[in-house]
Structure 1
Amino acid sequence: MTAVRLPQGPADPGRFPRRVPVRQILCLVPLLLVTVVAARHRDVLVAGFGHLRSAEWPWLLAAIGATCLTWVAAAFTRQGAVVDRLPKRRLLATQFAAGSANHLLPTGLGAGAVNLRFMTVCGVPLARSSAALALYLLAESVARLSLLAALLLAFPDALSFGALLPRHTAGPLLLTVGAVLVAATAVLVLVRRLRGAVVSFLRTALSELRSVHTRPSRALALWGGSLAFPVLQAAGLVLVGQALDLPVSPVHMAVAYLAATVAVALVPTPGGLGSVEAALIVALVAAGGPVAVATAVVLAYRIITVWLPLVPGALTLGALVRLKVI
């Protein structure tokens, strides 16, 4: 008996074809975003590359080396934030890709999403992955603020705070921060379901914190990497300043960098693009640098730390998506 094939009806328009290359399409998204961001900031790129031509290259090569080491420091911190052992090479590649994602999405979201996905693919439950992400952010913030406070205590004349934060803006800024804290507290008190979710997350985070600190190697990686990360970032700016002969002492440049990055931490711009440049220029001027040279240093520094790694980072991100690492 011969089987009879019935004619198939038209495909369901609500469904995608079975062979749509979803992962291949996702691989191209980071490159598309890079193109859009570069087109929007083409004036900054042109000016930054122009300043790099007149710089002393040994200092610039050292700045590039410091930038590469920041990804190693980030990998150490990420591993220190979770008890589970993560694959080293994939972890390092993920930090490089996360840096690119962080400059394409609002501050912190890109890197956080990439690392959260990486940990869940490695078998870490979502609740613990989220707790590890929060622990990483906490450790990095504490290390950055502690380093800034220590330098300001040792060098109280490093910044002219009147130039960095005019008096008429300090009051509204404090009022805004206070209003946000009051609103967040009110929401947690009034919304019982949200409060329960927050309490559950805090319990998981505290449990992860205790587990990490029962293992000296994890605690050392967490806090050592958290401290090394801002030190290497500040060292990169200092090295670029030396390359362009900025007449500001290295310690004062480091303080200016830390103060500027702390100031823009709550600004929801992709990778701090625009806000970081403005804050760094103001901070370097407050540290005693001429406006023109400070601007050149900041543009060259952002070329090295943001724009040069952006395309390779996007390619790495696409490759990790295609290989199902994230």
Structure 2
Amino acid sequence: MTALDAVSVYTPAFRVPIEDLADPLDLTDIQVRLFRRFHGLDQVRFAPDRSPAELLRAAVEGLAGLRGQEHRVRYVVHGRAMPVVVPYPHNPLHDVCRQLGLGHALAFTVTQQSCASGLLAVELAGRLLAGDPHEDALALVLTGEKAFTRHARLIPGTSLFGEGASACLVSADGPRDRMLSFVCAQRGEFDGEYGDREEEFQRQYRPSLAEVINRAVADAGLALDDIRLVLPHNVNVVTWQRLCSLMDFPVQRVLLSNVPDNGHLFCTDAFANYRTARERDLLREGDHYLVATVGAGAGATFSAMVFQH
């Protein structure tokens, strides 16, 4: 059973108030007030002095469980929202692997599900480990990328992207944070910039996410009331308030405190929220928690994953 043996997160100390993003992102005063008052965003994290590879390495350097175990890592999977992040032939993932003594591992990137690619990377790592002949094999799952263009920094009227990174050591049969279920629904009709389908996408967003959450909970053999905590993607606060109302689930059990402090960290949100839950002692041994995210790009992807701590 796929398990998270260790999780490390790097979030830069440098934060920018959203008002300071108005000029570079060409936002009006009304749009800024919408982000702050309605969506609950306050500031966004950036790492201006770190390259994409340095961002990933900062997360891995905090992964104490990896030290001395590099030889056991058979796979390195980078879950990323953006298909292209550096000019060819540069490859930040391979650079990091070489620097950390992981050049022997099979390393690849998944971007097909945009901001939901982080959960896809965990699921793929688990499948690879399940079929690996080495019983002590490990996988390293990375997330993190730069908000390097206006398109990469803004979802108009919805969210603002920040920068951060995470590193997860995954095993096939670890003792805690064991994955009980994973459900993914892909909606190819919402490919591209949506165009005249934008209104339909907004109508389908919450019901589609609620459906995969309910399916993931059921596949784990649980009821929604059994979920101690939801670790969300940090798109904004109001989306989760309305989703909880739709599902009749207490919004107090959704960890939303990182939304105003971080912005939307692409695929890193789930892992940053996991770190916060651990730091605040919000999960007890045996608790069930759910990670949910949506990726929009090459179609829309709605994903949910249930774990037992």
Shared topology, TM-score over 0.5? no
- Structure having the higher helix fraction is 1
Question: Which of the pair has more CA radius of gyration?
Answer: 1
* Structure-2-length-normalised TM-score: 0.26
- Structure having the higher strand fraction is 2
